[in-house]
Structure 1
Amino acid sequence: MAAIPKAAGEGRGADDFPADDLTRIAERHLVQPWPVAGSIGAEARGRIEAGEGVYVTDAAGRRLIDGPAGMWCVNAGHRNRALADVMASQAMELSYNSPWYTTNAPSAILSGRLAGHAPDGVDHVFYTTGGSSAVETALRFMQFYNNVRGRPEKKLIVSRQGGYHGSTYLSASLNGRPRDHDWMDSAGEQVVKLTCPDPFRRPAGMSLEAFADFLVAEFRQVIETTGAERIGAFIAEPIMASGGVIVPPDGYLKRMHALCRENGILFIADEVVTAFGRLGEVFASKAVFDIEPDMITFAKGVTSGYFPLGGVMIAGRLFEDLRRSNHTEAMFAHGLTYSSHPVGCAVALKNLDILEDGLLEHARSVSDHFQKSLKALEDLPLVGEVRGMGLMACVECVADRFSNNPLTLDLEVGKRIDRHCHDLGLLVRPLINMCVMSPPLTISPDQIEEMTAILRRGIELTMDDLTREGLWNG
């Protein structure tokens, strides 16, 4: 297909192209995230045409509940007029300014409001363009902080198996999902990975309390063996999102945080998913898990997906340490062209208004119903566990409930369920043998019931498929 010429007058929009042409253009020119080598640069994924509230409409005209809220992010729902209006208004007032030399009002106001929601003392923010760059910024700040304080050897980063922290080189190096590293290089020498805190996959016969003791003891052993003087940071999602909505044992995070404080290790809470209402709070670290991190990374829900924005909340005492150092000339040589973007910050301010004006309370009010409704799916033989918190949950499918083994099961089971659900009116986030649900916070109890009923039917149809194909015997 030849290059697409611009039409005379206004530029050509989606409505000017037949559906088949859009598919061919995508196959010829568009590269989307996480492609496989066999189709890279030559694929067209299912197209979403419109959205409203908790629903999206696909290219075939089907109205679907947006089960994943885009990518954990459309917290205020699709087609929110207030967010769209403020985005347009700010673009007409000030569309951009260089953060190297100037400041804009929305970014300054937003920083103060975010500090008001963060744990006490975590009162500064560096804005980025998304979650990966937020994590990258936190790690680079840790490196800078230790260099300036005369501790250049204190750079190792401790993360966890099953975790996900981004797609930039250093943030991706922290990821603990095997397929993330199968064909991609990483800075593995800078990272130590601990056991995934997944209670569902703890050793047989081990209590939750003993599992938590094991996890904490493992971290303590790493500190003793490696040396606290070499470990710069521990990073953790309060709930592992893309790893399958892993909710750690009670008290685990607080104990890990205490170990960090005892050994001068910075604790980075990766709240890219759990912040801005997903767990009913703007930030979940203190309010939900009773921890006060040194840094909190955020993105996604900060603008409800309407504009790319992320950031790092940083404890003020870390800046005080730097200002008292013997290297006041040292420069934190890190920044992004779109740091503190005025449009993104204006949208985030309005999004925060919406959260504070009732959406957080609504999310808290429906979360129990959401969890109980999905938990009932455990009566299906294919479902090993339904777990979650707030408005995020995971349905994990297993080959059998004795071994909880997914490996003898068709590893496309999540995609099979998603395909059936799509036909029935629901988008699902498939993760190998798991289905993740994290709908817009605006979802109603009736919509939760509709979502669960469709998911149940999608799983039942998948069980029929697997049985018919001899892949599963129930």
Structure 2
Amino acid sequence: MDNTNAKQWDNDHFLHPWEGMDTLGKNNRTLVEGASGIHVVSDEGNKLIDGPGGMWCTQIGYGREEMAEAMADQARQLAYFSPFSNTNSTAARFAREIVKRAPGDLNQVFFTTGGSTAVDTALRFVQFRNNLLGLPEKKIIISRQKAYHGSTYLAASVSGKERDRLWLDKANELTHFLPDVNPLYRAQNQSIQDFLNEKVADLENAIQTLGPDKVAAFIAEPILASGGVIVPPEGYHKRCLEVCRRNDVLYISDEVVTAFGRLGHWFASKEVFGIEPDIITCAKGLTSGYSPMGAAIISDRLIEDVAGQDATFSNGYTYSGHPVSAAAGLKSMEIIEQESLLEHVQLMTPIFQNRLRELSEISLVTDTRGMGLMGCVQCSETGDAQDDLKRDYQLGAMIDAECQKRGLILRPIVNMCVFSPPLIINEAEIHRMFDILKAGLLAVLKAN
């Protein structure tokens, strides 16, 4: 295929997510034209380790023929059905396989097109339930600074990344944000335990100030992924769930990133953090990125509150339960089990996290953090954890460029390099990935 004009067409016609208007039409993005295993291949033939795993999603790796065959077989038999008036055995089977692995009584799956629509669905269901329960004022959603829950209207409204909230309207009357839970920014000489107590008190105080009769739900990523792989203090989620239960506030666990193996379990809520939420949202690893799909998984307790009532949950998508996506999800799940990838992640985690922590020895690095096969390397030219924004963007771009020269794609979020490689990554590949990152960091340090 002739790609001679592709970069120009990209600049002329492809409006990308998070497109900067200052560079609109003037970008020089890498053309990714092929992939296999943990690597992507550029149009120039360069083989690059995919550090961020696409967008936190390529669990089983690229180029799986069995995935292509499963999707093609389904497309040949049935490429689409209307979920508004019919059903399909592949989608029904996929829903069943998901709930078999979900915690507690989360037994109802609402299929969506991705993570944003999964969060929107969860929030709309909370509103719907409270309306039917005669609680029309109980609508406020509590979220957190640095949280990211999506870019559809409600999902964006509960997202707390300040820079993403500058230019677009949000449903501000429906949201309240708690302070940053990143232990890096705790007060000087404050212990982790005291910081934990403070963060839990933030939630309790917010509910009491706003009024338990006004607060509908608390939404939380187990690990704040796009916020910079922020890991709250141990015990945070369990204690927050207890606060929610005492105040009749629902708990939504946004596992769009952490579900389907990223932390070595199907779902992280119970197995890693010891909680059974009311709703779990998921996407990304649901199909290993081979086809778009998301889901909101709702507990029986909530469903029982609305079942039998003369009302319609008027929320849905043309592609809810899409059969080709469902076939991809079933096959991905099968591969994860056949190849023991959950156990593999648990074995690789100490190696990954040790190499991550070793980078803190480089003066350019202000913090390293992570869990499972998720990690973040936060950098600063001055050693200040919160540096000048423009310089931070430039620093992230320089590190990315140096690493791409050496065979590694990063996802620089301003001055933070985040990692979530395919779950199939082995020990030698982990070392290779971090060796390249280290070389890239040292090259930038030397240049400055």
Give the TM-score category using the shorter length: over 0.9
Structure 1 match to 2:20? 36
Q: Quick one: which of 153, 172, 178 aligns to 1:194?
A: 178
Name the CA shift for 1:299/1:400 in 2 (closer, same or farther; >3 Å).
same
Residue among 234, 239, 252 paired with 2:223: 239
Are 1:284 and 2:268 an aligned pair?
yes
**2:77 aligns with one of 90, 93, 114:** 93
2:352 corresponds to which letter in structure 1?
F
CA distance in 2 between counterparts of 1:202 and 1:71 reads 29
Aligned residue identity for 2:425: I
Candidates 272, 280, 283, aligned match of 1:296: 280
Change (3 A) 1:408 1:165: closer
Distance in structure 1 (CA, Å) of the matches to 2:303 and 2:158: 25
Aligned residues of 1:194 and 1:218 also touching (Cα < 8 A) = yes
The 5 Å alignment of 1:314-393 reads 314-323=298-307, 328-357=309-338, 358-393=340-375
Partner of 1:10: none
1:3 maps to which residue? none
Unaligned runs of 5+ in 1: 1-14, 468-474
Shift of 1:43: 4.2
The offset of 1:203, in angstroms, is: 1.3
Q: Which runs of 5+ in 2 are unaligned?
A: none
Q: Does 1:431 align with 2:422?
A: no
Q: Deviations over 1:420-465 (max 9, x none)?
A: 0001000011011110011000001000000000000110111122
Report the counterpart of residue 237 of structure 2 in structure 1: 253
Secondary structure of 1:75's counterpart equals coil
Larger Rg: 1
SS in 2 for 1:394: strand
- Which of 31, 55, 62 does residue 78 from structure 1 map onto? 62
Q: State the SS of the aligned residue for 2:232.
A: coil
Task: Work out whether residues 399 and 405 of structure 1, in 8 Å CA contact, stay in contact via their aligned partners in 2.
Answer: no
Cα offset for 1:407? 3.1
1:44 deviates by: 5.2
CA distance in 2, matches of 1:22, 1:296: 39
Choose from 47, 61, 82 the match for 1:63: 47
The size of the alignment, in residue pairs, is 446
State the one-letter code of the partner of 1:388.
Answer: G
Q: One-letter code of the match for 1:464?
A: K
Give deviations 1:286-341, integer Å, cap 9, x for gaps: 000000000000000010000000001100111111126xxx11110010000011
Cα distance change of structure 1 residues 32 and 228 upon mapping to structure 2, 3 Å threshold: same
Post-superposition offset of 1:42:
5.8
**Cα distance, 1:219 vs structure 2:** 1.0
SS at match of 2:333: helix
**Equivalent residue, structure 1, for 2:140:** 156
TM-score, normalised relative to structure 2: 0.97
Q: Is 1:440 aligned to 2:440, yes or no?
A: no
SS at match of 2:177: strand
Matches of 1:23 and 1:115, distance apart in 2: 43
Alpha carbons 2:380, 2:395 under 8 Å: kept: no
The one-letter amino acid paired with 2:445 is: M
Determine which of 425, 435, 438 is the counterpart of 1:453.
435
What is the deviation of 1:406?
2.7
Tell me the distance in 2 between the aligned counterparts of 1:193 and 1:277: 29
1:446 is aligned with what amino acid? Answer: A
Report deviation, 1:41: 5.4
Distance of 1:190 and 1:127 partners within structure 2: 24
List per-residue Cα deviations over 1:140-159 (Å, max 9, x = no partner): 00000000110000000000
Aligned-pair distance for 1:39? Answer: 3.3
**What SS is found at the alignment partner of 2:377?**
strand
Q: Secondary structure at the match of 1:313?
A: strand
Give, as a single letter, the amino acid of the residue that structure 2 aligns with 1:38.
Answer: D
Mapped to 2, the partners of 1:95 and 1:44 lie a distance apart of: 36
Cα distance in 1 for residues equivalent to 2:83 and 2:30: 37
State the shift of 1:360 in Å: 1.2
Verify the 8 A CA contact 1:414 1:434 in the aligned structure 2.
yes
